[in-house]
Amino acid sequence: MKLFSKKIIFLFLIPTLSVVICFKLIPIIYAFILSFYNAPLGMLEGFISFGNYRELLSSKDFYTVLLQTFYFVICALPFEIGIALFFAILLNRQLKGLSLYRTVYFLPVVTSVVAVAIVWKWIFKVDGGLANQFLGLFGSQGLKWLEEPRGIFILMANSLGFSIPSYLEGPSLALVSVIVFSVWKALGYNLIIFMSGLKNIPDELYEAAKIDGASNWQQFRHITLPLLSPTTFYILIMSTIGTFQAFNQIYIMTEGGPIGTTKVIVYYLYEQAFDSHRMGYASAISLVLFVIILTLTLVQRKVAEKRVFYG
């Protein structure tokens, strides 16, 4: 009877396992094999061993794209986590119309990326865009936003009347504009996760801290942050993976421009696979990206998990 029950349980797993094997496991294995071939049409033709990897690791374009991807991740992550935490703490209080606020903040998550990216592309439009109209209210000159290839630090230095070396230019204004959209898009999901974590913190701890004379900052530092650390750690891991895989907003808003300054690694992969028809080379890029994400995830677990409080 016990063996029969296990078979029944396995039968219920077959549909899910079939989807995972067909659409996850098999494509991963095939991409790994394909990375050792020239494969112009995605077929196993022209075996070149590690040729794709040698070309990739010696390509200047790849390192430029990789740098821009790290710009994207490093700039987006703190704001995705910090802003979501800030609003989660505000909404965790007993406010009138709380469900309405939660719905409004979560709308970007359930809205199509393509649809809202088109709207944000209009917001950042040079002529008549909402962003430049807002700057005009303060007498400020409009910016090129998605059309500006110069680095954000060079633009800031020029506005202050001095210059800096080109290697310190930082991400382009166009990439920063896409980052702003990405932070807005991720806000709702991270906020809901943070609010779930805040609900699990007992109110008695805050009441005891108030009796002992703890300030709001001390309560946040010694109660909220430690007890919210598992939630923060989860969001950190998932947000890191998500930002490394950014593609849709780049494709819709800039198509990798201007002059390639918003081209991130997944968009570069797409170009090589579907524009240049180099499926083997694109597969090698995907495997390198997998190694980068896996390495960073393991490092984060090694370093950040020591500060996670599971008590």
- Which tens digits make up the pLDDT trace of 268-299? 999 999 998 899 999 999 999 999 999 999 99
Q: What are the residues whose beta carbons fall under 8 Å from the beta carbon of 99, sequence distance 6 or more? A: none
- 192 burial level (CB within 10 Å; 0-12, 13-18, 19+): middle
Comparing C-alpha atoms, which of 233, 285, 215 is closest to residue 31? 285
* pLDDT for res 1: 47
* pLDDT for res 228: 93
- H/E run at residue 57: helix 51-57
* pLDDT for res 191: 92
- Which tens digits make up the pLDDT trace of 154-206? 988 888 888 888 778 889 999 999 999 999 999 999 999 999 999 888 889 99
* pLDDT for res 310: 74
Taking the CA atoms of residue 129, residue 130, residue 131 and residue 135 in that order, the dihedral angle to the nearest 10 degrees is 100
Count of C-beta atoms within a 10 Å radius of residue 12: 9
Tokens 């170009």 correspond to what residue? 271
pLDDT-derived band at 4 (thresholds 50, 70, 90) equals: low
- How far apart CA 174 and CA 169 sit, in angstroms, is 13
- H/E run at residue 99: helix 98-110
- How far apart CA 39 and CA 52 sit, in angstroms, is 11
Q: Does residue 40 carry a pLDDT above 60?
A: yes
Q: Is 105:188 a contact under the CB 8 Å cutoff?
A: yes
Asked: is 59-307 a CATH 1.10.3720.10 domain? The reply is yes
**Tokens linked to 100:** 């309405």
Q: Does residue 311 carry a pLDDT above 70?
A: no
* pLDDT for res 308: 82
Q: Is 201:224 a contact under the CB 8 Å cutoff?
A: yes
Domain boundaries, the chain: 59-307
pLDDT-derived band at 2 (thresholds 50, 70, 90) equals: low
Q: Is 265:65 a contact under the CB 8 Å cutoff?
A: yes
Q: What is the DSSP string of 173-242?
A: HHHHHHHHHHHHHHHHHHHHHHHHHHHTS-HHHHHHHHHTT--HHHHIIIIIHHHHHHHHHHHHHHHHHH
Share of the chain above pLDDT 90, in %: 61
* pLDDT for res 56: 94
* pLDDT for res 272: 93
Tokens 């896409």 correspond to what residue? 178
* pLDDT for res 158: 85
- How far apart CA 129 and CA 20 sit, in angstroms, is 43
Tokens 């800031």 correspond to what residue? 156
- How far apart CA 169 and CA 154 sit, in angstroms, is 5
HEC per residue, 130-180: HHHHHHHCCCCCCCCHHHCCCEHHHHHHHHCCCCCCHHHCCCEHHHHHHHH
Mean pLDDT for the stretch of residues 118-145: 90
Comparing C-alpha atoms, which of 77, 71, 294 is closest to residue 170? 71
- How far apart CA 181 and CA 274 sit, in angstroms, is 26
- 164 burial level (CB within 10 Å; 0-12, 13-18, 19+): middle
Count of C-beta atoms within a 10 Å radius of residue 187: 21
- Please provide the average confidence, as pLDDT, over all residues in the chain: 89
- Which tens digits make up the pLDDT trace of 214-264? 898 999 999 999 999 999 999 999 999 999 999 999 999 999 989 999 999
pLDDT-derived band at 72 (thresholds 50, 70, 90) equals: very high
Q: Is 34:279 a contact under the CB 8 Å cutoff?
A: yes
Q: Is 72:171 a contact under the CB 8 Å cutoff?
A: yes
Q: Does residue 3 carry a pLDDT above 60?
A: no
pLDDT-derived band at 10 (thresholds 50, 70, 90) equals: confident
**Tokens linked to 8:** 């029944």
Rg (CA), the chain: 24
Total-model pTM: 0.90
